[in-house]
A and B are shown apart, each in its own frame.
Chain A
Amino acid sequence: GAVVSQHPSWVICKSGTSVKIECRSLDFQATTMFWYRQFPKQSLMLMATSNEGSKATYEQGVEKDKFLINHASLTLSTLTVTSAHPEDSSFYICSAVTSGVTDTQYFGPGTRLTVL
């Protein structure tokens, strides 16, 4: 149980384009999902917290207009990197918590974004 998927697993795009990444909880309902960014050889950096049916909460320094988050259902959250630039190239990972057990996060497999 507690499986989280992400799509796509990797994406290469041109500078200036927008990229959408999906995060799904496959076998449970996730009232809260999280989006992280991870640079090589570093730990995970929380970007935002996504709650179903409400606006995402962004961490300090993360541009909400650049990284659009939508959590339309209890099993799906999307992260859209708008007008991507090479510095946005990174490994993006989502995680989800099961309802009622909010202290344990399950992570997706990650999405490698490369902006040319």
Chain B
Amino acid sequence: GQQLNQSPQSMFIQEGEDVSMNCTSSSIFNTWLWYKQDPGEGPVLLIALYKAGELTSNGRLTAQFGITRKDSFLNISASIPSDVGIYFCAGRLRGRYGGSQGNLIFGKGTKLSVKP
């Protein structure tokens, strides 16, 4: 099936650092979504992207829909302790005639932890 490659798998952050993660695919997407999941809870939508090249911010978070439609990145600026958690990218494929097809495909997640 279609896959999203999300990297890095995990990373350690120190308060104040900027963080970057991305998702790539060999397929073309119509939608990119970024979620954060805390332990024992459901994913919370952070940013939704619908157009190639779109750059959207939500507070300290910024995400971009890659111009090729095959990738997206999420940046967190000036990280704080509550940023720890698992971040998932998700996307919907672009169909033959331009519309979205299929269900959301999820990346495997990027786990953010605090540096010991």
B59 at the interface (CB under 8 A from A): no
Determine chain B's interface SS by DSSP, over half rule.
strand
Which residues of A sit under 8 angstroms from B42, Cβ to Cβ?
4, 6, 93, 95, 107-110
In the assembled complex, how far is the CB of residue B40 from the closest CB belonging to chain A, in whole angstroms? 7
Residue-wise, chain A 33-69 has the 8 Å CB interface mask toward B (1 for contact) of: 0100000001110100100000000000000000000
Which residues of B sit under 8 angstroms from A106, Cβ to Cβ?
45
B88's partner among A44, A95, A102 (CB-CB below 8 A) is A44
B66 at the interface (CB under 8 A from A): no
Interface size classification for chain A? 20 to 34
Which residues of A sit under 8 angstroms from B48, Cβ to Cβ?
103-104
A29 at the interface (CB under 8 A from B): no
Interface size classification for chain B? 20 to 34
Which residues of B sit under 8 angstroms from A49, Cβ to Cβ?
103
Given the known inter-chain contacts A104-B33, A104-B48, please indicate yes or no for A112 contacting B40, CB distance below 8 A: yes
State in angstroms the CA–CA spacing of A109 and B42 once bound together.
4
Q: Tally of A-B residue pairs with Cβ under 8 A? A: 50
A105 at the interface (CB under 8 A from B): yes
State in angstroms the CA–CA spacing of A75 and B42 once bound together.
18
Which residues of B sit under 8 angstroms from A102, Cβ to Cβ?
100
In chain A, residues 74-116, which have Cβ atoms closer than 8 Å to a Cβ of chain B? Answer: 91, 93, 95, 102-110, 112
In the assembled complex, how far is the CB of residue B19 from the closest CB belonging to chain A, in whole angstroms? 19
A93's partner among B31, B33, B43, B50 (CB-CB below 8 A) is B43
Which A positions have Cβ atoms within 8 angstroms of B?
2, 4, 6, 34, 42-44, 46, 49, 91, 93, 95, 102-110, 112
A-B contact pairs, 9 of them (CB 8 A): A43-B88, A44-B106, A93-B42, A102-B100, A104-B48, A105-B104, A109-B41, A110-B42, A112-B40
